[in-house]
Amino acid sequence: MSEMVNVYLMGKQYQVPSDLTIMKAMEYAGYQLVRGCGCRNGFCGACATIYRIKGQQQLNACLACQTKVENDMYVATLPFFPLVKQVYDINKVSPTQQIMMQLYPEIYSCIGCNACTKSCTQGLNVMQYIAYAQRGDFEKCAEESFDCVMCGVCSARCPAGISHPQVALLARRINGKYLAPKSQHLADRVQEIRNGDFKELIEGLMNKPLDEIKELYNTREIEQ
C-alpha cells in the first residue's frame, strides 16, 4: 500500500497515494478531466498547474502530468495561461529584427528578472531565447526554445507581459521557412506520399493487431 498524503484540490481536502502525479491524484479524487489535460506525457503543455505547500510562501508552477503530489499540497488549475498570439502570414513576413519589433514589441520591455526561466516546466533558458529574439537571431532563438511545450507558465510569471512561447514559435517558423537548409529528402518523401507510393504499406499496418504494431515500433531501426 502506498503512503497516503493530504492534498487540497480547488480548496477541498483529499487523501491520495503519494506516488501519484497531480493529474492522477485529481482523477483518484473523482475529478473527470475534460480540459487541462492532453498527452499526459509532458509534451502538449495543456496541464499547466499552480500549487503551494502549506507553510511555504512560494507559488510553484508545473505540469500536472509530470509532478508528484506532496503532503499538504494546495493545487489550483487554471483554464489557460495568458498568451498573446499575433496574426501574421509566414509567407509575407521578413526574417529581420523588425518583425519582432512589429509583432511582439513587449520583448524589449524585458527587465531581466529571469522569472520566466525559473518557472519553465521544461527547464529552458527562456530569458536567453528572448534575448536572441530581441537581436533578431532567429536561428539561436529557435534552437534554445526547441523543447517548449507552449504551456504558458513563463508568461504567467512575466512582469513585462511577454508571450514567450509565441515569440519562440515565430522564431522557429522564420528559421524553418527562411534560414534553415532545405531538406530535399523530406520534400521527396512528401511527394512519394502524395503519389500514393506508401498506400499499400499504410493499409497493411492499419490492419495489423495493436500488439504487433507496438513490437514493430519498439524494434524499428532508428537513424543515427
HEC per residue, 21-59 = EHHHHHHHCCCCCCCCCCCCCCCCCCCEEEEEECCCCCC
Q: Is-contact 148 83, C-beta < 8 A? A: no
104 and 163 in a single domain? The answer is yes
* 194 and 125 inside one domain: no
User: Does the predicted model carry a pTM greater than 0.85?
Assistant: no
Same domain, 107 and 167: yes
Same domain assignment for residues 101 and 169: yes
* Residue 55 belongs to domain spanning: 4-77
Residue 87 counted as domain residue: no
Q: Residue 59's domain is classified under what CATH number?
A: 3.10.20.740
Burial (CB count within 10 angstroms: exposed 0-12, middle 13-18, buried 19+), residue 158: buried
pLDDT at position 1 is 62
Specify whether 166 is located in the same domain as 194. Answer: no
Whether residues 145 and 210 share a domain: the answer is: no
Q: 116-166 pLDDT, tens per residue?
A: 999 898 899 999 999 999 999 999 999 999 999 888 889 988 999 999 999
Q: Which residues contact 144 (CB under 8 A, 6 or more apart)?
A: 124, 125, 128, 129, 132
- The total of structural domains in the chain comes to 3
Residue 86 falls inside a structural domain: no
Looking at residue 29, its pLDDT comes to 93
Tens digits of residue pLDDT in 77-122: 776 666 888 999 999 998 999 999 999 999 999 999 999 999 898 8
C-alpha pair distances (Å), 95 with each of 60, 85, 177 = 36, 18, 9
Residue 116 lies in a domain: yes
The answer on 171 and 194 residing in a single domain is no
